[in-house]
A and B are shown apart, each in its own frame.
Chain A
Amino acid sequence: MNAPAPDTFALFVREDVRDTVRERQFQLLVGFFVLPSALLTYAAGRSASVAGNQVELLPSLLPAFAMLTPLLALGFFASTLVEKRTTGALNVVLGLPISRRTVVVGTLVGRSIVICAGLGASLLVAVPFALFVGVAVDLGRFVVVGVILALLAVTFTALAVAISATVRTSTRATTAAFAAFVVFFFNLWAHLPNTLSYVRHGFSYPETDPEWVPFLEAINPVAAYANLLGGLYPDLNSGAFIQPPAEPAVYERPAFALVVLVGWIVLATAVGYRRFRTTDL
């Protein structure tokens, strides 16, 4: 496997980002991020002035953003390559000296830039607006949380691109994206190791869970996000349905959570590329 020729790779990413602008996807995505961010900041400002106490920006934003980020990544990007395949755009792109790896990895990079731009814009808008309406901002913490959210965004973008590289129709892409969101965000994922343990224990629940059950639970990318955020800032509610444990095991600590998120990005992209490499257009 040769490294993608850097010039066509950069070209592909640049034009992919510009495509989202031409198709108004970029503008829409930024809108979907900025609008809730502005509304929530405004609401936090109102409640601060009414109750007369100190309100911080992050706890007001996080619950919405923890849901919005995976949802928008899957919703916007899960049909990217599927659409290009059905319209025949891939026949044009792959008629040029552009490799299939460039198409998959370039789409991941391009769309990651787009969603991070949306996320970044919404956070940038929130800060001056928060100060204006009297909401406190801890800037250092705000930046770190922004980076964590960006990592979550890239993880789900990688899942979305993997879906779009694997399935052949938009319907299936949409269904798979919806399933991925439900499984990860509403943590149906946790039922998997629990059911496994139930079956292995002769169809009854063991009194104490075997060690691999919470380990598998921590592999959920949303759990990893919650563990990463909760481990760094225990007082912040991550906004996910999964609460980090009070006494985290090694695999529930921030460092491991970081590895899990990066692992999902690499694994999803590798699987997507493997399928896409050998597929018939």
Chain B
Amino acid sequence: MAAIELRGVTKRYERVGFLGSRSVTALHDLDLTVRSGEIFGFLGPNGAGKSTTIDILLDYTAPTSGSVSVLGRDVATESTAVRERVGVLPDGYGPIGERTGREHVEFAIEANGADDDPEELIERVGMCGPDAYPVAEYSKGMAQRLMLAVALVGEPDLLVLDEPTTGLDPNGARTMRRIVREENDRGATVFFSSHIMEQVEAVCDRVAIVDGGELVTVDTIDALRDSTDETATVTLELSAVPEGVLESVRALEGVSGVRADGTTVVVACADATKAAVVATVYDSGAEVTDVTTSETSLEELFERYTRGVAQ
């Protein structure tokens, strides 16, 4: 059974006004399956539709069309039952009134009918000191730790974490990653969104990249890395760019892109073509003053996949 299954999910936000209406399509015909037991990273730039997807998973928002099932249940009709088995760290959360951190955790434990020890959860996320104060006074990072504790209540089968490391210090981010792994070892599926590739890279089994409301790719981290290993960037500093050199470089097999920026030529090409690129430029008669090559990082891959926001 899939932990999360989205089929043809479209979300349009409509705003009706006196002088014409506006609408934004945040998600367009999204299909996504998260398998039971995996750590799934949901990656995309700001405005790509990550939080909208999560809002739809949790029934904070209803999709304009399409179907959503979580842990085998239809979210549209059984959202309360779904949330009994899902731990949530939502985006844009806020304190409930003047309740203290401990009261938030206790409320979550009671609402889930769980028998967790609030002390243990608070200790696990590292917010022991401030637990007796109202959450309204918390710093962003401390509130984030608290919300993680709330999400962990009742050993959920699925953890949905929206940008979980926002506002966390490096220690907090490490704790977050450790807890994600621990929960996964216990058997929980973890779905989390991020716009930071490193976060995802460090813990995820599979990754989906969304951009402009559409799914760009779904793959394992290793497969993504393999695809990036094939590409490299060669940057050549020339005294002057001779006529025709760009064309002859472009004509080489394995070259995917050439661009000149003043006297700097940047070539994107297959790893094996790097030498041929340098030789071609050298043979054109240009004086080469400097050559640097680099392999494309996941970060650059992410950049290449994602260009823009929801239309």
Contact = CB atoms under 8 A, between A and B. Distances in A.
B94 A92 contact: yes
A97 B111 contact: yes
A278 B62 contact: yes
A7 B90 CA distance: 24
A89 interface: yes
B92 A93 contact: no
Nearest to A89: B96
Interface stretch (A15-23, A124-132, A135-143, A213-221): A15-23
Interface string B282-293: 000000000000
A88 interface: yes
B98 A281 contact: no
Contacts of B62: 278, 280
A99 B60 contact: no
Interface string B90-108: 1111111111000010011
A7 B58 contact: no
A55 B106 CA distance: 52
A192 interface: no
B258 to A, nearest CB: 46
Contacts of A15: 96, 99, 107
Given A95-B83, A96-B83, A97-B81, A11 B94 contact: no
A98 interface: yes
B88 interface: yes
A94 interface: yes
B150 A19 contact: no
B183 to A, nearest CB: 16
Which interface class (under 10, 10 to 19, 20 to 34, 35 or more) fits B?
20 to 34
Contacts of A22: 97-99, 134
Interface string A263-281: 0000000000000001011
B311 interface: no
B305 to A, nearest CB: 28
A94 B97 contact: no
B93 A91 contact: yes
A92 B62 CA distance: 17
B61 A281 contact: yes
B36 interface: no
Contacts of B219: none
A87 interface: yes
Contact of A19 (B92, B97, B147): B97
B150 A7 contact: no
A43 to B, nearest CB: 36
B113 interface: yes
B112 A87 contact: no
A187 interface: no
B80 interface: yes
Contact of A280 (B61, B92, B111, B147): B61
A92 B147 contact: yes
Contacts of A93: 96
Interface of B: 13, 55, 58-62, 79-81, 83-84, 88, 90-99, 104, 107-108, 110-113, 134, 147, 150-151
6 contacts: A7-B110, A96-B83, A98-B83, A98-B111, A99-B79, A99-B80
Given A19-B99, A95-B150, A99-B80, 7 more contacts: A15-B107, A19-B97, A92-B95, A95-B151, A97-B84, A97-B111, A98-B80
Interface of A: 5, 7-8, 11, 15, 19, 22-23, 84, 87-89, 91-99, 278, 280-281
Q: Which 8 A-B pairs have the closest CB atoms?
A: A88-B94, A95-B88, A87-B94, A19-B97, A22-B98, A97-B84, A281-B60, A96-B111
